[in-house]
Amino acid sequence: MSAQLNFEVPTMAEMIAKGEEPEILFWVGCAGSYDERAQKTTRDICKILHHVGLKYAVLGTEESCTGDPAKRAGNEFLFQMQAMTNIEVLNGYNIKKIVTGCPHCFNTIKNEYPGLGGNYDVIHHTQLIQQLIDEGKLKAEGGESFKGKKITYHDPCYLGRGNDVYEAPRKALEALDAQLVEMKRCKTNGLCCGAGGAQMFKEPEKGNKDINIERIEEALETQPQVIAASCPFCMTMLSDGVKMKDQDQNVKVLDIAEITARANGL
């Protein structure tokens, strides 16, 4: 397990009590909050925010599911209940800018909340990382070197095709001087990890193989040392796939935030 945090993560409630306002709210998401693997990414995002001195806060226990899985499963009632409750909390704190640790939260808050009264400037954590690299605040120095390592990046559907974010995660990888190898199906032609549309929470329908296996076979064809992800659901599916293929000793599945944190020695 990646090292624990040696700093306090500020919550909105605390900030308001101190009469302060954060520059950006970090929306952690359900997977980022509860899933052990995704928690590591969550902590790494905090380390990055802390390291660059950005004034941020999280909602902590006041956060609730965005409603994305309910919406994709067809339960619009439950989705809108969740959305409106969340919007009330966010608007109550006068939130302007949000960074999310998950493409599903990102898509939902960015695209579906405005119609329900929630208007925020929303970015995904890979976009924040790209901005910080562009501003020279993150340098990929002083930590683990990824120089020359073969890395392949899996586009999450809700970041890529869903919202046309293809460059930011790749930019973060290029900054490492790594060797970025693309899979045959990438960018607009990317292949789903198999978890979207509420599939994460059910057994797949019967077929010849599971989608994550199809995807991991393609990823392994590029003979990578690292498979880069930027979504907690993809993380689960890809890690499971690597394990099923008995490759977990040779290939690491890491989130862009984890890679960036490691490269910066955080």
Partner 1 sequence: MVSQILFIAITLAAIALFSYNVKKVIRNIRFGRAVDRSDQPQKRLMTMLKVAFGQTKMFFRPIPAFLHLIVYAGFVIINLEVLEIMIDGIFGTHRVFGGLGIFYDVLIGSFEFLALGVWLACAIFLIRRNIIKLKRFSGVEMKSWPRSDANYILISEILLMTAFLFLNAADSKLQAMGASHYIIAGAFPVSQFLHNLLPNTEAGLIVIERTCWWFHIVGIFAFLNYLPYSKHFHIIFAFPNTYFSNLEPKGEFTNMQSVTNEVKAMLDPSFTPPEAAPGRFGAKDVNDLTWVNLMNAYTCTECGRCTSVCPANITGKLLSPRKIMMDTRDRMEEVGRSLDKGGKGLDDGKSLIDDYISREEIWACTSCNACTQACPINIDPLAIITDLRRYAVMEESQSPASINAMLGNIENNGAPWKYSPADRFNWAKED
Chain residues 173-232 in contact with partner 1, contact rule CB under 8 A: 188-192, 194-211, 213-215
Q: Which residues pair with 194 in a beta bridge?
A: none
Nearer to partner 1, 18 or 206 (CB): 206
Min separation Cβ 89 and partner 1, Å = 11
Q: Which residues pair with 229 in a beta bridge?
A: 255
Min separation Cβ 18 and partner 1, Å = 18
CA distances from 247 to 119, 127, 225, 244 (A): 43, 30, 10, 8
Nearer to partner 1, 38 or 228 (CB): 38
Question: Using CA atoms, how far apart are residues 59 and 89, in angstroms rounded to an integer?
Answer: 9
Binding map of partner 1 across residues 137-156, x = CB under 8 A, - = no contact: --------------------
> How many chain residues touch partner 1 (CB under 8 A)?
75
What is the footprint of partner 1 within residues 155-174 (CB under 8 A)?
157-158, 161-164
Q: Which stretch binds partner 1 (CB under 8 A): 38-46, 49-57, 137-145, 247-255?
A: 38-46
Nearer to partner 1, 23 or 76 (CB): 76
* Residue 17 engages partner 1 in binding (rule: CB under 8 A): no
Min separation Cβ 62 and partner 1, Å = 9
Question: Using CA atoms, how far apart are residues 83 and 113, in angstroms rounded to an integer?
Answer: 7
Identity of the amino acid at 127: Q
From 50, 45, 17, select the one nearest 33 (Cα to Cα). Answer: 45
Min separation Cβ 151 and partner 1, Å = 23
Contacts 24+ apart (CB under 8 A), 115-121: 116/80, 116/83, 116/84, 116/87, 117/84, 117/87, 117/91, 118/83, 118/86, 118/87, 118/90, 118/91, 120/90, 120/95, 120/96, 121/96, 121/97
What is the footprint of partner 1 within residues 47-86 (CB under 8 A)?
58, 60-61, 63-65, 67, 69-78, 80-82, 84-85
For tokens 């909340």, name the residue. 113
From 230, 213, 207, select the one nearest 101 (Cα to Cα). Answer: 230
What is the footprint of partner 1 within residues 79-138 (CB under 8 A)?
80-82, 84-85, 107, 110-112, 115-116
Min separation Cβ 163 and partner 1, Å = 5
